[in-house]
Structure formats: C-alpha cells, structure tokens
Structure 1
Amino acid sequence: MLRNTTLYPILLVHGLFGFERIGTFELFHDVRQALKIMGVQVFVPHLSAIHDNEVRGGQLLCQIDAVLRGTGAKKVNLIGHSQGALAARYAAALAPHKVASVTSVSGPNHGSELADYLRKALIPGKLPETVARKVATVFCDWLCLLSGTAALPQHALAALNALTTEGVGDFNDKYPQGLPQSWGGQGAEQVNEVRYYSWSGIVPSINLQKPDPVQDICRTLSQYFMTEPSQNDGFVGRYSSHLGTVIRSDYPFDHLRSLGRTAGKHAGAVDSVQLYVEHALRLQATGL
C-alpha cells in the first residue's frame, strides 16, 4: 500500500556530464531509493550529457511523454539538479499542461560565474578552445558509452555558452517563468498552474577532522566567483540559484553533495537526501 507518496511521478533531471547509471553506479541512487521507499514513482530521463538547455529540454519533453504513457499519469513533477533545472524550466514553459511542478536544486537560473570564467579563458577559434572542446567531447563520449546514451547528440561549447550569465540571460528572456523580479528575491510560486521551487547551498568551512576531496575541489572553484564570493557552492552562486519559492539557498553543502549524502559530518551538516524526501512530502501536501 502506497503512503506518503506524490500524486504525480517525479523525474530526477541530471545536469552537465550527468547520467542515470554506469554499471552498478547510479547518479541519483540515494535520492531515488529514498523516494521509492515512500512509494513515489521515480524516473531518471536520458539526456545529452553536454548540450545547450533547449536541446536537453526538448529531449526531456520526449521523456515526459513516455512516462505519461507508461504510468497513465496526467502530469509529472520535475526536480532538476544543476543544468537539469534549466531543462525542466524549458519543458514546463513549453508544456505546462504536462508539468505539475519544477524544482531547481543548485540550478544556475541566472548563469554560473564559473562558466563565465571558463568562457573568457577560452578564446573563440583559438587553440585553447579547440583543445578544451576535444577533451570535453572525448570525456563525454566515454561517459555516454558507459552509460548507454552514446546515440544522443553532444556539444561541449554549446553547453558552456548556455551556462554563462549571458547565455542563461538569453534563455531567461524566452522562459522567465518562476524567476525573481529582484536579485536575491523569490519568484512566483505558480505560473500557468506549474509550481516552482528551489534550494541550493554554499561551500561549508574546511573540516579539519575529516577532509572531503570533492568539497575541496568545489572550495577551490568557488574562488573564481566575483559577484557572489563565499556565497556559492563552487559551481553556482547562491542568489543565482533562486527560482519560485526559495526553500533555502545557503545549506552547508557544495554543488556535487546536493546530489546525495556528504562524506562526513561538519558543523551544521544536513542530509541532502532528506531534503528530497521532505520536498516529496511538500508536493504531496500541495496535491501534487
């Protein structure tokens, strides 16, 4: 007997270089299992690992149709991590009648300062850009081969350009649903009968007792942020992540740890997976 479940299925939408499964490793494993225990129908769509927001959003729309056909549901709840949030926003903007809610988890809804830095460092048409594109493409091809998504198109520079402040700004001009009217504010709770939510974190202070290599990488990357120094998760700025109802944007975890449980405990630590469980209950209470 299902209990504490949502009315509509949940799709966990991965971001840049994301995937559903490689061998026995699942990107959303902990989150997916926790939601399944609740009785929630959970799916992870197959999207290009590296491409722009609209291409990935179009792929997501096809996946939504497949889920609706397979489950008989009228709508889906979309939870997008990182660039996955932009794909989810695109799908909801084009087909609001198929989407009950969009939730952005560490999503670059106003662009990423890290992407800005990388774009400036790569001179268009010059050797560094060419090398970077080839390296990213080779890595992505290898990733897609292992994850069984090699047939999907990939475009490294299109992905990078789509994540810059300018690229996301152009995207937002076309798909503004749920965006705050002022920097650091909250967006509309509901647009075209689609509810919008977001949460994100900032890189916590160094844990001297139990080092975390992933967190150390994100802490290093966080130094390239100018607009939101010390207020970012290493990939996305705190206020840049805001969309719809902002649940919280300063959880003590980095960009990658918002996908699952942290490696160790530190002051103010939270269980990232529990946030997804709590959100499923929130959606249920809202009738979604």
Structure 2
Amino acid sequence: MSASRSPALTAALAASLVTLACGDAQGPGAGDGMTEGTGTAAGLTTTGDDPPEAPPTTTAPDDDDAGSGTQGHGETTGTGTGEPACDPNQLALVERDYLGVGEDVKGETLPACSEHRWYVAFPDESSWQIRLTRTDGSGPLRATVAYPDEPTALVWQAALAPPLVSGEAPAEAIFAVPRSGEFAVHVRSDSPDAAADYNLEFVCSIGCERETTRFPIVLVHGWTGFEAIGPLTYFYGVTAELESLGYPVEVAVLDPYNSTTVRSGQLAEQLDEFLVAQRARKLDLLGHSQGGIDSRAVVASHGYGDRVSVVVTIASPHRGTYITDLALGLAPGSVEAALGFLLNFVGAVSAQQKSDAEASFYSLSEHYMQDEFNPANPDDPRVQYISYTGRTCDAASFLIPGNDCQDLVDPLIGLGYAVLQVARGDNDGLVTVESAKWGDYRGEMIADHIDEVGQILGVTDLKFDHLEFYRERARDLFAEEH
C-alpha cells in the first residue's frame, strides 16, 4: 500500500499490544508495550503469575480455511498411568469462524488437547480492545494475534504481541493494527488436558471510522490504449480513494494488450507477490473488461481457487464481443473498419503491438470465449463470481425517453456502440449487457466502457460517480466477508 502515516501513528503501531486491565500473568515477552508479572503499562497496573518460559506448538489441520470444528470435551489422561493424554506442544488446531464487526465469542468451549483459531478483520490506523475471559475450567487460557499466513508452528513465537492470559480474572489489551485486513486470533489453555469455556470480545477504541475488507482488493485492468493523450492511471483515482478509507489495495500491471493466456500467467505471478506483501491467505479480484476474463482464468487455469475469495467483473465479455470477431474476419462485415477502430482504441502502432493486440482481440471474440475459453474455465465452487456492466447510447437514442438511456456514448467508442447495437443489442460501446453477465449479476451502471473506470481524467456522465461506485463495491465485499 502506498498510504503514508504520521510519525506519531508509526510509533503507536510499533507498540502493538498494551496491557490495559488486571488479569492473570501476561505471556512470554514484555516488549511491544506489554508488561508481565507485576508492572505498569500505559499508566495501568497488571498482576499475575509467571508464564511458562517456552511457547508450545500446535498441529495444524488439513484445511486452513476458517470454519467450525468440535472435539471431545472434558479431561483426558493416559490409560492407567495418570500422565497427561495430550502433548501441550502438539495440540490439535481447530478452525473456528470469521468474526465480523460487532461479533464476539460467548460461552465457547475449548476441547481438551486443542487450540482454537478465529479470524477477524481490522483496518490500519485503528486500535481495538481485546478481552479474554475464562468462564469455566481450570488453568489459565491464553489468546494472541498473528498474521493469518503465519505457519502454525510459529504462531506463538512470531505473534504480533505477547498473549493475553485469563485465569480467575479477565485479561484485556489494546491491539494497534499494523495493516488492514484479516488477522488470526489463537486461544489455548495452559492446562490442555481439561476442557475450558471462554468469552472473546473485540471493541474498537481508535480509528473506528476506518474501513477494510477481509482480503486485499486487486484491481485488474483491461485494454490500455490511452497513449495518444498521455499516460493515465487505468482505474482513475480508485486506488487512492479506497486506501484513504482504509482498504488494502494492490494493482496488477499486465501487458496492455495480449492474449488471456499470457496476461493470466502474469497475473498469477503478481498474486503470489501480493499475498506475501499483504500477509494474506486470499485476495479479492476486481477486473474491468479483459481484466475480468484474466481473473477467471487465473482461478480456473492456474489453480488459484484456494487463494481467491471473489471475482468481481465489470463489463467483461464473458461470451465474447462481436466487434472483435468482425475485426478478425470471424464474422461477416467490414474487417478493415472494425480492426482499425480497435487498434486505434488500444493505441497499437508498431507491428509487435498490432500482433499482441490481435491476440487480445481473439481472446475476447465470441468464437473463442464460447467455444474454447468457457468450457475450459468453469467456475470454482470455492470462489464467488459477481458481475456488473454499463449501458450507453448514441445521441438519437439518448433523446428518446422510451429508451431509458441516461448515458451518451463517448465519441472514442461511438463506432463500437453502433456496430454492437445493430448486431447484438444494448451495450457500453465495447461489450454487450448480455455478454457481461456472469455469476451473480448485480445490474447496470449509467456509464460507457470508458466511464466505468473514471476515464477520461475522472470526467464521466453527471449521473455516474465512478469513485462512489468502487467505494460501494468495497463495502459490499466487506459486508459479504470477502
């Protein structure tokens, strides 16, 4: 992320966890603003017993996705020996649920010989009060916060803060959030042979107006052909707008025009980099035009269904766009006019650029999308698919009230609109409304293909605010736990 922070905020984030109220002993490591034993933190005093010196490890389950899991309750011991039946260094990790804002854990039972892992999402530049309360059972309970991609065996050593420890009294602490997105909260017992009950609560204390999604948003661009008027940011102002609110955003940089095979391979490499940079388990892909097709391909053809939570496509030609068939001679009509229009739109001048552009055109043709791409790239059941598109019209249709058209097509794509309107029906100047529908179709924008990403230079139809559109999409992703 490119958002900057003040020195005071940086210092606050560095003090990642500060003890606020009394409880049993805090866990190993008195650094990062925490105190252990008897002492003072942020002007408050904590007391408790000394914790074990070495943190234990945990045995991870086969599937790292958040979910529900149960194990037997009660106390366990070795047969006829009285020795503990479970190794505190090899507890079974039980995946629990994702907790949205306002959701707490109440009366949860931690089975014997196990450790719980919950998931939460916090925005950067915020702080949250975390409260752990053992409500039943013996022996202190511990909770700590870690990045969700932290290897299970390293969680308690590499956690973002020393653990809260609750025995007879609750334990409370402030977590200063280091980056927006998902975190894992682990809970375990110092007496793992016996089950214990607990509450786990989260209350925002600073930066509560900030927003985030669970997983980072990746903006995936389509054709970029604006060289004739100078270099422009494809999603005009969108990254800065979302980051200013708190959302974690990455921007893919693919070939301006090339086949989906080439571009999706480039996207796969960049997704790997984004996952590492963001310390994330999954990503939310938001693709415009060919970027939406590339996003589908990276899931289906490159096997990223376990690392992508949702694919949102905006004006992507899922069934192809007739104008490219026409330009490549795959449909009857004026090849030269259609090809010249498309090459001019994407700004392809040199022989190599034209070759790459024609590869891109073929990837978006009705022939390729319907006969080859869609059969070879089925939807992944682990991933949600959402689609939107724009609709525009020419001056003649714009003036007819019965057409219910509220956007006047940009002259730059006027020919594309005219060809598609006659041959295929309502469109945004490059992609028809019907072709853009995929998965959960959520409606039209008052926009043509250029307006949909805020071009040119943020000037769109007066009835369409592209920044508001992307703000609302980010909020939808948060509400739907992506």
Q: What TM-score comes out, normalization by structure 1 length? A: 0.77
How far off is 1:102 after superposition?
Answer: 0.4
More strand by share: 2
Query: How far apart are the structure 1 equivalents of 2:393 and 2:245?
Result: 30
Contact kept? 2:289, 2:316, Cα under 8 Å: yes
1:111 aligns with 2:306: no
Match of 1:198 in 2: 387
Match of 1:80 in 2: 287
How far off is 1:157 after superposition?
Answer: 2.1
1:26 aligns with 2:222: no
Contact kept? 2:417, 2:428, Cα under 8 Å: yes
1:174 aligns with 2:368: no
- The DSSP-based 3-state class of the residue aligned with 1:246 is strand
Matched AA of 2:446: P
Contact kept? 1:47, 1:60, Cα under 8 Å: yes
How far off is 1:214 after superposition?
Answer: 6.6
Matched AA of 1:201: G
How far off is 1:264 after superposition?
Answer: 4.4
Match of 2:481 in 1: 287
Matched AA of 2:239: R
Paired-residue identity, %? 29
More helix by share: 1
Kindly tell me: are residues 166 and 141 of structure 1, through their superposed partners in 2, closer, same or farther at Cα, counting changes over 3 Å?
same
Match of 2:358 in 1: 157
1:247 aligns with 2:433: no
Kindly tell me: are residues 24 and 109 of structure 1, through their superposed partners in 2, closer, same or farther at Cα, counting changes over 3 Å?
closer
Query: How far apart are the structure 2 equivalents of 1:194 and 1:61?
Result: 16
Contact kept? 2:393, 2:409, Cα under 8 Å: no
How far off is 1:167 after superposition?
Answer: 1.2
Matched AA of 1:64: L
How far off is 1:273 after superposition?
Answer: 2.1
How far off is 1:272 after superposition?
Answer: 2.2
Query: How far apart are the structure 2 equivalents of 1:258 and 1:9?
Result: 21
Match of 2:424 in 1: 228
How far off is 1:270 after superposition?
Answer: 2.3
Kindly tell me: are residues 215 and 24 of structure 1, through their superposed partners in 2, closer, same or farther at Cα, counting changes over 3 Å?
closer
Query: How far apart are the structure 2 equivalents of 1:201 and 1:71?
Result: 32
Kindly tell me: are residues 257 and 163 of structure 1, through their superposed partners in 2, closer, same or farther at Cα, counting changes over 3 Å?
same
Query: How far apart are the structure 1 equivalents of 2:362 and 2:286?
Result: 23
Cα deviation, 1:21-68, whole Å, max 9, x if unaligned, reads x98732223211221122111111121111111211111010000001
Cα deviation, 1:110-169, whole Å, max 9, x if unaligned, reads 10111122122899xxx969x96xx77x94488x9xxxxx9xxx7222111111101112
Matched AA of 1:7: R
Match of 2:411 in 1: 216
Kindly tell me: are residues 140 and 70 of structure 1, through their superposed partners in 2, closer, same or farther at Cα, counting changes over 3 Å?
farther
Kindly tell me: are residues 10 and 48 of structure 1, through their superposed partners in 2, closer, same or farther at Cα, counting changes over 3 Å?
same
Query: How far apart are the structure 2 equivalents of 1:95 and 1:236?
Result: 26
Match of 2:268 in 1: 61
Q: What TM-score comes out, normalization by structure 2 length? A: 0.47
Query: How far apart are the structure 1 equivalents of 2:418 and 2:408?
Result: 16
**Paired residue total:** 252
- The DSSP-based 3-state class of the residue aligned with 2:311 is strand
Contact kept? 1:9, 1:42, Cα under 8 Å: yes
1:47 aligns with 2:241: no
Structure 1 unaligned spans of 5+: 145-149, 178-190
Kindly tell me: are residues 24 and 214 of structure 1, through their superposed partners in 2, closer, same or farther at Cα, counting changes over 3 Å?
same
Contact kept? 1:214, 1:256, Cα under 8 Å: no
Query: How far apart are the structure 1 equivalents of 2:232 and 2:434?
Result: 32
Kindly tell me: are residues 105 and 222 of structure 1, through their superposed partners in 2, closer, same or farther at Cα, counting changes over 3 Å?
same
Structure 2 unaligned spans of 5+: 1-124, 127-209, 400-406
